[in-house]
Amino acid sequence: MPQDIAFDLPFEPAVSPDVDAARQRSLRWSRRLGLLRHPADRQRFLSWDIAGLMAAWNPGATGDRLDLTVDAVVVATFLDDQFDGPLAAQPQRVEAACRAFTEVMVTGGVASPGAGPLIVAFADVWRRLAEEASVAWLERAQQHWQGYLDAYIEEAANRAHRRMPASAEYFALRRRSGFVCAMLDLSQKARELEVPPRLADHPLVSRMLDITADVVDTLNDVHSLEKEETRGDVHNLVLILEKEQGTGRTATIARIQRLIRDWCAEFITLERNLQDSLPRQDAAIAGPFTDCMRAAMSGYLHWSRTSLRYSRLVPAGEPALATELLAEQ
């Protein structure tokens, strides 16, 4: 099973002490927003343990600060599963669904009348994200969410044409579809931290962000391999490398283990160089933000080893969720 494959990251995981209470608050929020109308969806939601993921992703967060990160990832996860069924290879319908999310951001967190429960839930999340946020920070957060939405349209087009992207193209797509940059925006909210554009665009920070995304996304590709193979999805690095290099599963996984080890070593070097190169004001922000990236990598691995999202597979041909959450009410 892919979840049993060993990955040794040089970052120690930690978990928020508020994790159990956050699970209950997340369940209540999801039910109140109409996301869990069917018993099967409730059971799958509990097995995924998104609150557990974000408690490891943001181990210092508690209460409302932790809840915002959990609720945002719940929305993203439910959206992913809405596109993991009949919509998967229909780019026009995927684009129409994504447009509704864009409109919520453009209007500052207003869902159109009669919008489906997932759109309404996203509007709630977006309003909370915007609270006390600078214009520059919110614009960057919107870019990351928009990149995530646009990636769904690209993936649907690939599926419609039965096209597997090459590895270089896939990394560029996966850095958007993996949602990691948007989740690191959530980490900033959890820490009451804003990374200014001059620091976010710093070449060393940009590379560290790419490494963080590549580590998390590649771990996810390994752990979700059986899930995606069952559904015939081609957007998985393991499958892409097997095709490009003509290697078997064991050799491909071994190469991915080496890639992740090399990325982590590069990250540590970049972290050291970054602190040595920054003025004191920026170094004071870069340190906590680097901690966010470390926690993202270690926290994802900690969660994914035990989450039932990738071990209790939904049968092929059956929708991941029993309820249509995008349909107008």
Any domain includes 329: no
Q: From first to last of the 329 residues of the chain, give the pLDDT tens digit.
A: 466 788 989 999 999 999 999 999 999 999 999 999 999 899 999 999 999 999 999 999 999 999 999 999 999 999 998 887 667 668 888 999 999 999 999 999 999 999 999 999 999 999 999 999 999 999 999 999 999 999 999 999 988 888 999 999 999 999 999 999 999 999 999 999 999 999 999 999 999 999 999 999 999 999 989 888 877 788 999 999 999 999 999 999 999 999 999 999 999 999 999 999 999 999 999 999 999 999 999 999 999 988 888 776 666 656 667 778 887 76
The pTM assigned to this predicted structure is 0.94
- Secondary element (H or E) of residue 11: none
Task: Give me the number of domains the chain comprises.
Answer: 1
Q: Determine the Cα–Cα distance for residues 309 and 168; give it in Å rounded to an integer.
A: 27
**Residue 231 main-chain phi, psi, to 5 deg:** -100, 5
Residue 91 lies in a domain: yes
Residue 324: inside a domain: no
Q: Which of 260, 243, 229 is nearest to 2 (CA)?
A: 229
Domain presence at residue 323: no
**How far lies 56's CA from each of 3, 22, 256, 279, in Å?**
17, 12, 23, 30
* CATH value at residue 278: 1.10.600.10
Q: Please indicate, yes or no, if residue 318 is contained in any of the structural domains.
A: no
Q: Amino acid identity, residue 273?
A: N
| Containing structural domain, residue 190 | 2-9+18-304
User: How many of the other CB atoms lie within 10 Å of CB of 12?
Assistant: 9
Q: What is the dihedral of CA 195, 197, 203, 206, to 10 degrees?
A: 60
5 phi, psi to nearest 5 deg = -70, 135
316 in any annotated domain = no
Tokens coding 228: 């995606």
Name every residue whose Cβ is closer than 8 Å to that of residue 217 and which is 6 or more positions away in sequence: 174, 175, 177, 178, 180, 237
Residue 273 belongs to some domain of the structure: yes
State phi, psi for 178 to the nearest 5 degrees: -75, -15
Q: Write out pLDDT tens, residues 255-273.
A: 999 999 999 999 999 999 9
